[in-house]
Amino acid sequence: MTLELLPLLALLGGQPAPPVTGILFDALAGEGVTLRHAVYLPRAYDAATQWPLVLFLHGSGESGTDGVRQLTQGLPQALLADPGRWPAIVLLPQKPTDTSEWEQFEGELLALVNAAHRRWAIDPARVYLTGLSQGGHGSWVLGARHADLWAAIVPVCGYGAARRGDAGLPAPFLGAASELAAALVATPVWAFHGDADDTVPVEQTTILVAALRAAGGAPRVTIFPGVGHGSWDPAYRDEALPRWLFDQRRADPAPGGAQP
């Protein structure tokens, strides 16, 4: 008996077909842009239980329109290597171009989160945001813009400036740090970076963390000695990360998903 016959046989027997699980591929049409994405649905998914939801934002190298490349770095690889550590529904959108920033697709990302709430059994108190490099920047910015949505955010080798690689850390970056900190002061944050990163300097993370602490927040930060830009590998394979992440819950979750 092949796996493909099981849903059909369930229907013929009068039983509802089990949900299709694993990596699912789809596309979301927005205003002038189509955001291709994948969704990870755990094999143990059961609609009788509310599940955590994670939105993962990739880096510049995984941009495109094939709908697949975003699975090659960071959280998707850690998830596939050890799915038992990540008992969650994971949204994996792909940004069309490597020169754009994730906040340019803010509407599409919120629509994706809302669609997940309608389609699957999501726990509104456990919705999380994470990403690497450009996605780390998106985690800081969209985390701050929608702080009432996320139970926690995890930026990896991210930055707060409008463009990455601002080695001089100009005054506009410092202003952005204080603004992001003010919005995120009550949000659990765990930031990761490598101190040998020559693409996004580690100061992009340490200044944001310092601003959060100065504002009264209590962010966690892990700086990997001697690690370059690929700090997402040790970050997402850290066994403590998913345990910490899924322990975070919002006391006042927004029902039904994100607000536009």
- E strand residue ranges, 73-168: 89-93, 122-132, 152-156
pLDDT at 54: 98
pLDDT at 223: 98
pLDDT at 35: 87
pTM for the predicted model, two decimal places: 0.88
Give percent helix, percent strand, percent coil of the chain, each to the nearest 5.
35, 20, 45
- Cα 26 from chain centroid (whole Å): 17
pLDDT at 170: 44
pLDDT at 69: 96
Contacts with 153 (C-beta within 8 Å, 6 or more apart), sequence order = 128, 129, 130, 139, 140, 143, 184, 187, 188, 189
pLDDT at 14: 54
Return the SS3 of 23: strand
Q: Which helix (H) or strand (E) holds 28?
A: strand 22-29
Fold of 17-247: Rossmann fold (3.40.50)
Name the maximum alpha-carbon separation found in the chain: 67
| Sheet strands side by side (includes 22-29) | 22-29, 34-41, 89-93, 51-57, 122-132, 152-156, 190-194, 220-224
Are the CB atoms for 67 and 37 separated by under 8 Å? Answer: yes
For the record, the structure tokens of 69 come out as: 């490349």
Q: Which string of DSSP letters, residue by residue, matches 188-251? A: -BEEEEETT-SSS-THHHHHHHHHHHHTT---EEEEETT--TTTHHHHHT-THHHHHHHH---S
Phi-psi region of 32 (alpha: psi -120 to 50; beta: other; left: phi over 0): left
Q: What is the pLDDT along the chain (260 residues), one digit of tens a residue?
A: 333 334 444 444 555 556 788 899 987 766 667 889 999 999 999 999 999 999 999 999 999 999 999 999 999 999 999 999 999 999 999 999 999 999 999 999 999 999 999 999 999 999 999 999 999 999 999 999 999 999 999 999 999 865 444 444 444 455 689 999 999 999 999 999 999 999 999 999 999 999 999 999 999 999 999 999 999 999 999 999 999 999 999 998 776 666 55
